[in-house]
Amino acid sequence: MAMISASVLSFEKKLVSSDGYFYGTRWENRLKEASPLKLIVKSVRGTISNRLKPALQNNPIKINAEVEKPNLQRVDVCSLDENQDTLKLCFTLKILGDIAKPSACNCEKFKKSYVQAVKQYIEQEGFSELAKRYAINIANARFLWRNRVGAENIEVIVNAEKDNKKWEFNAKQYGLSDFTVDDAQINELADYIAKALSGNSEYLFLKIEAYAKVGYAQEVYPSEELVLDKGKGKGKKSKVLYSINEIAAMHSQKISNALRTIDTWYPDFDAAEIGPIAVEVYGAVTNLGKAYRTPKHDFYTLFDHFATGGKLANKEQEHYVMAVLVRGGVFGQKQE
Mind listing the pLDDT tens digit for each residue in 149-160?
999 999 999 999
Closest CA to 95 of 212, 15, 175, 13: 15
HEC states along 85-124? CEEEEEEEEEEECCCCCCCEECCHHHHHHHHHHHHHHHHH
* Segment 68-79 mean pLDDT: 84
**What pLDDT shows up at residue 233?**
55
pLDDT one-digit tens code per residue, 26-65? 999 999 999 999 999 998 877 777 777 777 777 777 777 7
The DSSP element (H or E) to which 129 belongs, if any, is: helix 128-139
Q: CB of 5 within 8 A of CB of 110?
A: yes
Closest CA to 21 of 232, 236, 218, 242: 242
Domain-wise residue ranges, the chain: 11-50+72-330
Q: Does the pLDDT at position 229 exceed 70?
A: no
pLDDT one-digit tens code per residue, 280-335? 999 999 888 899 998 889 999 999 999 988 999 899 999 999 999 999 999 987 65
Coil, strand or helix at 241: strand
* Segment 194-220 mean pLDDT: 96
86 phi/psi in degrees, rounded to 5: -135, 130
132-136, 238-242, 276-280: segment of lowest average pLDDT = 238-242
Identity of residue 330: V
Q: Does the pLDDT at position 232 exceed 60?
A: no
**What pLDDT shows up at residue 320?**
97
How far is the first Cα of the chain from the last one, in angstroms, to the nearest whole number? 19
75-89, 186-200, 212-226, 259-273: segment of lowest average pLDDT = 259-273
Sign of torsion, CA 128 130 133 137? Answer: negative
pLDDT one-digit tens code per residue, 149-200? 999 999 999 999 888 999 999 999 999 999 999 899 999 999 999 999 999 9
The overall average pLDDT reported for the chain is: 91
Task: Using a pLDDT cut of 70, give the percent of the chain over it.
Answer: 95
Distance CA 311, CA 307 (A): 9
Q: CB of 179 within 8 A of CB of 264?
A: yes
**What pLDDT shows up at residue 1?**
43
Residue 262: band (very low, low, confident or very high) from pLDDT cuts 50, 70, 90: very high
* Segment 223-245 mean pLDDT: 80
Name the more confident of 132 and 107. Answer: 132
Sign of torsion, CA 69 73 79 83? Answer: positive
